[in-house]
Structure 1
């Protein structure tokens, strides 16, 4: 089987479990971690994941944030200046983008049915502008069903830390990791 098939099978296995309602928002987040070079294949697998989700009696919502930074930046009143001098994108300006992105994700979570899986796609596109850990922690309290984060990067099971695009120092987070390897053990 391919790595993508293994990841989809791990997702299906998680879907088959009973959802507990008395868990924190952070425990309602599922991290589907895969090597960054599988990003296109994982996006191609979204219809299979949707089918598995609906067959399990759950709702399915895809939230793709891939283009959010570009749209936000192009609509900023100082966009032309940022294009000419990218170093002018200070942390306070990037914090504005984070507020906008977090608001968009929280709104999608609010509108999703309580039994739905909201698939967050394109989280890698926020690198190097924002930290995925900050965005995920800022939205986890709004998760009523499950938030499935398609996460191109690494997960270290010993420290339970994640590294987006294998780049920055890892962040420790309490999300459930969907790992096909643990099913093989």
Structure 2
């Protein structure tokens, strides 16, 4: 499974830098009360949602490995794998919810900011080193796990995914004393 569409790597690098700066700006401006406030449309606090936004970038490193493996296997293998993961959506949803609840007890805002920098740097280095053939390689994904997962996604799609995830959740934050989401 491959795609012939070339990827604008610089645009992805720019998106990563934009989200990195936004993430730091959000963390730097947030008070303890801001971080503890509920978000709009989730069961998380702002701090938990910020961690989940960071985790969206962290998970891409694992997804890159999956594409490299499953992108070389027969399509039916990846399709079966995606079907198994789709069937496991309820436990995934529970882990996806509980993860940020526990993670913020370990990762405070300062550590989240440093981790965001390291993850973005790693993704940028990997993206720069990817061949066009690898960026075009793809696999099937569990579409029930995330609204931004499509049935078939290329490695280039995976590099774009965390920014879509970040921007979606950014709108759900209620930082800055507002009860409405930050635009």
Q: Which TM-score band (shorter chain)?
A: 0.3 to 0.5
More helix by share: 2
More strand by share: 1
Q: Give the structure-2-normalised TM-score.
A: 0.34
Q: Give the structure-1-normalised TM-score.
A: 0.34
